[in-house]
Structure 1
């Protein structure tokens, strides 16, 4: 008789655990997904662990490869890998007018993404490989080339490209 109730009890316990987990997450710190009111379109001062990537939803735990997309009405979205903002932005009507800020690996400052240079082989959170730099170095590419490579899948996430660039 008790064996008939075991599956029912397991389902009840699972439901209780899931509800408890959601309640806990709802009461924990609130993540910033979209920041509003940035009319000047300047980079928002970010803190690790408080912002959520708008493309993949992960918490931004390291600002080394962080980026921000800001539009004229002051809305700002955040990303922890430059490849992510390229993919996210592609189908947006404001893709050409948005101000895009990237954290520069060489100067540790926010720089205009359209003026930055990008490496092809940096270790980045989502594995695209494009670290942003303020200063040009041989082998680095410009914003438009980086964007095209992301959209074509020519990133370190592609095993053929990875082997070509890294020899792995």
Structure 2
């Protein structure tokens, strides 16, 4: 009986932690994007990145923000890197991003426009094609980075110019 009483709290406590690999849980309408700090609200496009030896989990509202974060933080060649995206047709199904196919022209939270699919479809592209397009485009104008103390929000400007003016 004592073993059962000890085992029950341990099982309950174990359920409070995220797994060490694979996708975690996004609490939609509560969790925020690591880059833009907007609330993650659309289950079709929320993205998760696991990185480093501790398998830290970072969440994003759009695959584009996740890809820029991976590049900017030096995780591109991280052997422990995992990127998880939902199948836009079945948002409760997580896909390893580098194995997924992407359909452009979607209305996504940060306007990168790509939705992930588990199988190829007419017009879909590979991860590398999608990644190249996202990085070439730069950070979307919908994604001001609030952590930049030099960023002036009182004027119109092109986020891709690098001048801040």
Q: TM-score range by the shorter chain?
A: 0.5 to 0.7
Within a 5 Å distance, the mapping from 1:46-65 to structure 2 comes to 46-65=26-45
Aligned Cα root-mean-square deviation (Å) = 2.1
Confirm or deny: 8 A CA contact 2:18 2:25 kept in the other structure: no
Instruction: Name the residue aligned to 1:31.
Output: none
What TM-score results when the alignment is normalised by the length of structure 1? 0.66
Asked if 1:103 is matched to 2:89, the reply is: no
Give the corresponding residue for 2:135.
151
Does the 8 Å contact 2:110/2:140 carry over to 1?
Answer: no
For residues 32-51 of structure 1, the aligned pairs below 5 Å read 40-51=20-31
Whose helix proportion is higher, 1 or 2? 1
Q: 1:53 to 1:140 in 2, by over 3 A?
A: same
Using the alignment, how far apart are the partners of 2:107 and 2:71 within structure 1?
23
Of 77, 83, 86 in structure 1, the residue corresponding to residue 64 of structure 2 is 83
Q: TM-score, normalised by structure 2?
A: 0.67
> Against the structure 1 CA distance between its residues 154 and 145, is the aligned structure 2 distance closer, same or farther, given a 3 Å change threshold?
farther
Larger radius of gyration: 1
Query: Cα distance, 1:113 vs. partner?
Result: 0.1
5+ residue gaps in structure 1? 1-36, 158-168
Count of residues in Structure 1 that have an aligned counterpart in Structure 2: 121
